[in-house]
Amino acid sequence: MINHPASIFKIYPIPAFRDNYIWAIVNINTHYTTIIDPGEAQPVMDFIEKHKLALEAILVTHHHPDHIGGINALVKKYHPKVFAPISNYIPHADYRLTNDDTITLNNTECHFQIMSIPGHTLDHIAYYSKPWLFCGDTLFSAGCGRIFEGTPEQMYSSLQKIAALPPETQIFCAHEYTLANLKFAQIIESNNIELNNYRKNVKMLSKNKQTTLPSTLALEKKINPFLRVDQPTVKLSAEQYCKQVLHNETEVFATIREWKNKF
């Protein structure tokens, strides 16, 4: 894994739909870009034209339409390489990726390691290039994705896999859900000072229409209830909600995920 001298890269959030981010990694020396999860094409085309870039690759985390909807139009216009998980629902891909695969993008000058992280969908993968993690709809700041296809066990184990990365890992998730997630997180852990401080910062950023991302793994471990199910406070809140004793971390996780669905 190469280190990234900060001067060579810029990573931009391209807003799409209501609250999606399509991430763009730009190599400012080569003027090549790699795009993650283009749910729609037009905002990406506008970005590419504005910054006068060449599109080397598209990386896809999972099959949902708000992550793949722009692929065909971008391929037609710019002919990038498309990397995607093994999935029947993603019609166009040049390379199909699975856990522990690595990819090298010569013009953007990036290497990625693939992590299989099922739960939100069964095909979900993340792209890790130290210190960046592009994790789609699995981990959000102060929250996590809904479990549409997998089991709570799978989702929890995927989050634990992410949690095992270095604390300085930057979390590039695909939605601006932070403020809404924090509202729920505060109900779970009302006395968490770090959480309360973070919410103040996020409120300010949101008020000024600024992105709250990327987050860091170190911060998420302090404030994200879905990464804190081993904490007595989180377990107690979950037990009070479901009115029964929970026996392990997966049960606590499944309970607060279910609670958040109805929140």
Which residue lies nearer to Zn ion by CB, 1 or 86?
86
Distance CA 238, CA 252 (A): 6
Please say if 4 is a catalytic residue.
no
Closest residue by Cα to residue 1 from 114, 129, 179, 101: 129
User: From the CB of 169, what's the least distance to Zn ion, in Å?
Assistant: 21
Which residue lies nearer to Zn ion by CB, 64 or 260?
64
In the set 37, 123, 124, 137, the catalytic residue is: 137
User: From the CB of 18, what's the least distance to Zn ion, in Å?
Assistant: 14
In the set 63, 120, 123, 124, the catalytic residue is: 120
Burial of residue 216 (CB within 10 Å: 0-12, 13-18, 19+) is middle
DSSP 162-201: HHTS-TT-EEEESB--HHHHHHHHHHH-TT-HHHHHHHHH
Contact (CB, 8 A) for 24 and 11 = yes
Please say if 66 is a catalytic residue.
yes
Contact (CB, 8 A) for 36 and 46 = no
Which residue lies nearer to Zn ion by CB, 11 or 60?
60
User: From the CB of 61, what's the least distance to Zn ion, in Å?
Assistant: 8
Question: What tokens does 55 get?
Answer: 């599109």
In the set 62, 63, 123, 124, the catalytic residue is: 62
Which residue lies nearer to Zn ion by CB, 130 or 146?
146
In the set 63, 67, 123, 124, the catalytic residue is: 67
User: From the CB of 244, what's the least distance to Zn ion, in Å?
Assistant: 30
In the set 37, 63, 64, 123, the catalytic residue is: 64
Please say if 62 is a catalytic residue.
yes
Distance CA 263, CA 200 (A): 21
Q: For every residue of 51-118, which 3-state class applies, written as one string?
A: HCCEEEEEECCCCCHHHHCCHHHHHHHHCCEEEEECCCCCCCCCEEECCCCEEEECCCCEEEEEEECC
User: From the CB of 147, what's the least distance to Zn ion, in Å?
Assistant: 11
Which residue lies nearer to Zn ion by CB, 147 or 202?
147
Please say if 63 is a catalytic residue.
no
Which residue lies nearer to Zn ion by CB, 64 or 228?
64
User: From the CB of 41, what's the least distance to Zn ion, in Å?
Assistant: 18
Query: Which residues of this protein are in contact with Zn ion, per CB under 5 A?
Result: 64, 137
In the set 37, 63, 66, 124, the catalytic residue is: 66
In whole angstroms, how far apart are CA 79 and each of 11, 64, 93, 248?
A: 21, 22, 12, 48
Please say if 120 is a catalytic residue.
yes
Distance of CA 172 to the CA centre of its chain: 5
Which amino acids are annotated catalytic? 62, 64, 66-67, 120, 137, 175
